[in-house]
Amino acid sequence: MSDAGPIEKPQTDHREYCPLQLENGMRVLMISDSKCDKAAAALSVKVGSAFDPPEVPGLAHFLEHMLFLGTEKFPREDEYNEFLAKHGGSSNAYTADCVTNFYFGVSPDHLEGALERFAQFFLKPLFQESATDRELKAVDSEHSKNQQSDGWRWNQLLKNDVNPKHPMCHFGTGNSDTLKVMPERDGYPVRKRLLEFHDKYYSANQMCFVVLGKESAAELEQLVRSYFGPVVNNGVSVPAGSELGGIERPFCQEGWPRLVQVMPVKDVRSLAFQFVIPQQMPMKWRTKPTRYLSFLIGHEGKGSLLSALKTQGLATELTAGPSMDDLGACIFEVGIQLTEKGETEVKAVGEHVFTYIRLMQQLPVSEDLFTENQRIEEMNFRFRSVGHPVSTVSSLSHSLQDGLPIEKVLSGPSKVLDLDRSQIQEAGAYLTCANLRLLWASKTFTEKDCVDTERWYGTRYVAKSLPQDWHDAWEACRLGSDEQGNEGSAESAVQRAEAGGAKLGLAMPLPNPFVAENLELKVRPEAGISKKPVRLALPDCLFSLPPASSPAGQSSLIQVYFRQDDTFDLPRAYLNIEIYCPWTSQSIEQRIIVSAWCQAVAEELNELSYDAEVAGLYYGLNSGSRGLSLSLAGYQDKLPILLRTTTTKMAALQEVSEQTWGIVYTVMLRNAKIAAKTRQPYQQAAELERRCLHRTAITSAECLTVIQNLTREKVQGIGSQVLDQCYADALLQGNYTEAEVAGVLEALQPILRPSKLLQKIPGLAVAALPDGPESCALIRWAGSNPDEKNGAVTVTLQASEDSLESVIFCQLAGQVLGQRCFDELRTKQQLGYIVALQAYSDTGSGGGYCGLKAIVQSEKHPAEVHRRIDDWLANALAGLANEEENDDVKLGEYLEALLTKKREKPKKLADEFSPNWSEVISRHFRFTRRDEGIAFLEGPRQQILAAFRKFVRDCLIPAPRIAVEVLGAAASEAAANEAEPYKGACRVLDSIGDIEDFRTKLSWRESNTSITP
């Protein structure tokens, strides 16, 4: 492994990659980063849920949880995560079918300490009995969280159709039944199972380890050998791919083609054409044949399957590609979101799908299309930004398990190296009814239609053979109605396929006009480049109104900030424009109308913008409470063309066609119903709090009410009305020179032509909570999904106005208490799977306040959860202010951890652009905020900590609070002592009317609305 050639990497990747294989068989990749400001490591084990004993589903996943809870060398349960918290780090893990992956990030100076603790996971874990019992509840809570997720439910339904003798059929998450009740009933406690599983499979020869640090490769090797060399290699052999099932096939496919009708949680109408084909990856990593199929079927340009379905009013969205590719099988899925009409004409939808499949199967593989996509993939890899350390090590440790040549471990997953027509044709040939499983989800289905109940998630469904008339019609479309008895020449078969496709408006994709050609970096000024965006003055002839139409001293229509990139050396750029339009801010309905118009523009541009997206150029058009947001990102070469195309359409779209409106309204209504009725409880709590404290906030339920009464007539002519009075802020960063900025932004002229200029920007505002002893406003709400067992509680402490110093003190408090909150309320008290304590500030919302926010999602009654949060917070904050309990040495570690986080430099242009854009849309324009924060934390340590303790005593402990309790379905079964109402609130709000009344009594901090000439 160490004798391999140099690892192929992106053009600007400065990191040094050094492979190594330890004597115990562990494969290692060391990454030496001379610019390292965050160290990271990850270890993957080639074992996952597919290896669970059939009688203990979820064992691999449960073991993943247990490894975090103490080892012989470091027995304290929170030792590992507390160490990371003290040193600017974090950790996580996941269990897939065939791989379990553990990873962390930490301050570069503390990599060795983290590695020492991490390595013990794989040497001497404790699996303590008490921790085992408690963590079982965490796994059970995780499963409870997933039970109202359609993705999890449908994945398990797929496993129901798997050969029951094949390991793909397992229930991977596990719950209290599979991990406690069943093992104890069998007289085989789960702790014993954990020990056996770890001893058998957690063997060095099945592990891949990646570490990234500031050290040299030689120094990293020394650390790796010291801490991971002792991991035992027991010589276990782990089957992979088709070997996993032995002689058993993943799918028996008896009675196929199969139709599975399912009652979804969310308000969706969808079809998933799932074709079972042989496993493709990683064996075919050089050719990736399904990528060509995905490109063709999933294309959204002119002549595409999606465009044809839209034209007929049958569908709104389409995706295509492998939804799983492992364990000996690949599921190639064509997923379609239907309209109401499409739901009544599923047979016609299938006829379009199989007509396109015929076209694809009959036409020869296009070398031009393949080469164009290969060129884009090569370009994307060549100009890929350096990855974040944690995501880099995690993904690489997983990729190493695929067995690619080590020199291709970075590029191999991204690029298609070879064109193999026979492999593409072979994979495409499997797209037939004989290999089809059709999943049809609809809210119109009832329990009378879906008579079966899935065991683990309670999903109502019915599985049966595909209707014969559908089968016959679809196969006729795929084969051609005159195929039998008239073979003809290959050329005539192609011509017939093309003619059949043309009848439905189907054709192969055209050449992509947005593929970047000029990838050269622009010349940089000799005088140097400002490290922060600077305001530019554009020529008056571009964007200004005559004096008669303008306020005194103000005629410009746009304020522009710019920074030429001199850090990332990539031919990319980011451009965001915020267009402030008073008409949008006048009512909720007008805001929703503008949102519908924006989506109509996007829909009419979709065939063109899809090509841009394929070529690595993206745009977005959205609306908010103050107006419109237009964003573009990607290769700068064709960015002005996409911008001009977008603004021309915005200016021209005054009448929305029935076809466009049908698609837009279907998507808006569906998304609004999903948001209003099936959001996670903690998300609902956050929305309600925001509705109370942010002047322009609205709830998903209010949004749904407006959309349900929206008509096409209300959207007609809105474009000119919205833009009749406007002003814009813009930020451009990337591979442009200052001299080119005006030429790029000239494309905004079609939409920046108001009849009169704004005198001030539509404002934002955040409310101050009423002060006073033990003040707490409480929003008490029923969960929107009656089938969701979990409820949620958020408790927010509004400590201070959001000055730089106050925000940093809140962040420091969150740094100290975040892991402690998780350890106490989740690990020890087991309140639920989602538990967090974090600092917050309203700075990005135009200014307001800052403080701490506790979040718990739980099946327990919200009142009881609320009391426990209060009890923990009281003790935690008191301890934080106590110098004996948290002296300067202890707090100093956390301060250093926070400083480490703030010193982390952006890894890509988007990371630099995002905080700068936040400064623009918040209208603070304080681009030095990060540097000021670092300078503050680098001040006299003793003085800072003394001021911090005073802030805790004077601001955090007595802070006014707002709490939200969302009641879940399981809470009705809570014990009487749990259900006793929370008594610490000064005001209880349980309706929008209550919230509105409460808001009238609050004082508000206004955002900056001034326009500077």
Instruction: Give mean pLDDT, residues 578-587.
Output: 95
- At residue 499, does pLDDT exceed 60? yes
Q: What angle do CA 426, 428, 431 make, to 5 degrees?
A: 120
**Residues ≥6 apart with Cβ < 8 Å to 587:** none
The pLDDT value given to residue 192: 93
Distance from C-alpha of 293 to C-alpha of 595, rounded to nearest angstrom: 34
CB 924 within 8 A of CB 1008: yes
The pair of three-digit structure tokens given for residue 353, joined into one six-digit string? 């799908």
The pair of three-digit structure tokens given for residue 23, joined into one six-digit string? 């004597």
The pair of three-digit structure tokens given for residue 323, joined into one six-digit string? 């939804």
What is the arrangement of strands in the sheet containing 961-967, beginning at the earlier edge strand?
Answer: 834-841, 849-858, 791-801, 961-967, 776-782, 987-989
Task: Report which DSSP code applies to 844.
Answer: G
Residues in the chain: 1013
Cα 407 versus chain centre, distance:
30
The pLDDT value given to residue 214: 97
Distance from C-alpha of 419 to C-alpha of 696, rounded to nearest angstrom: 54
Task: Tally DSSP H helices, then E strands, for the chain.
Answer: 34, 28
The pLDDT value given to residue 757: 82
DSSP lists the bridge partners of residue 1001 as none
The pLDDT value given to residue 763: 92
Closest residue by Cα to residue 417 from 612, 311, 284: 284
Tokens 């050396």 correspond to 569
CB 562 within 8 A of CB 536: yes
Q: Where are the alpha helices (DSSP H) in 54-110?
A: 59-66, 79-86
Question: For the purposes of burial, counting CB atoms within 10 Å of the CB of 117, is it exposed (0-12), middle (13-18) or buried (19 or more)?
Answer: buried
Cα 826 versus chain centre, distance:
24
Conformational region of residue 65, where left means phi above 0, alpha means psi within -120 to 50, and beta covers everything else: alpha
Rounded to 10 degrees, what is the CA torsion of 870, 876, 882, 883? -160
Q: What is the tens place of the pLDDT at every residue in 918-931?
A: 999 999 999 999 99
Q: What is the tens place of the pLDDT at every residue in 437-489?
A: 999 999 999 999 999 999 999 999 999 999 999 999 999 999 986 544 445 56
The pLDDT value given to residue 774: 57
Instruction: Give mean pLDDT, residues 662-668.
Output: 97
- At residue 749, does pLDDT exceed 90? yes
CB atoms within 10 A of CB 94: 15
605 three-state secondary structure? helix
- At residue 677, does pLDDT exceed 90? yes
- At residue 554, does pLDDT exceed 60? no
The pLDDT value given to residue 485: 41
- At residue 878, does pLDDT exceed 70? yes
Distances in whole angstroms, Cα of residue 563 to Cα of each of 318, 392, 529, 572, 736: 38, 28, 8, 13, 8
Distance from C-alpha of 631 to C-alpha of 398, rounded to nearest angstrom: 34
Task: Give me the active site residues, please.
Answer: 64
The pLDDT value given to residue 668: 97
CA end-to-end span of the chain: 63
Cα 909 versus chain centre, distance:
19
- At residue 990, does pLDDT exceed 70? yes
* Mean of all residue pLDDT scores within the chain: 94
- At residue 10, does pLDDT exceed 50? yes
Instruction: Give mean pLDDT, residues 768-780.
Output: 84
| Identity of the amino acid at 995 | I
Distance from C-alpha of 470 to C-alpha of 477, rounded to nearest angstrom: 11
Distance from C-alpha of 90 to C-alpha of 114, rounded to nearest angstrom: 10
Question: For the purposes of burial, counting CB atoms within 10 Å of the CB of 580, is it exposed (0-12), middle (13-18) or buried (19 or more)?
Answer: buried
State the pLDDT confidence band at 539, using cuts at 50, 70 and 90.
confident
State the pLDDT confidence band at 771, using cuts at 50, 70 and 90.
confident
Instruction: Give mean pLDDT, residues 596-605.
Output: 97
Q: Phi, psi at residue 493, to the nearest 5°?
A: -65, -40
Q: Residue-wise over 738-768: b if at least 16 C-beta within 10 A, else e? A: eebbbebbbbbeebbebeebbeebbbbbbbe
The pLDDT value given to residue 542: 76
CB 636 within 8 A of CB 643: no
CB 609 within 8 A of CB 644: no
Rounded to 10 degrees, what is the CA torsion of 162, 163, 165, 168? -30
CB 425 within 8 A of CB 365: yes
The pLDDT value given to residue 247: 86
Distances in whole angstroms, Cα of residue 292 to Cα of each of 307, 311, 360, 427, 565: 19, 25, 10, 10, 35
Instruction: Give mean pLDDT, residues 495-503.
Output: 93
Task: Report which DSSP code applies to 568.
Answer: S
Distance from C-alpha of 862 to C-alpha of 741, rounded to nearest angstrom: 54
- At residue 529, does pLDDT exceed 70? yes
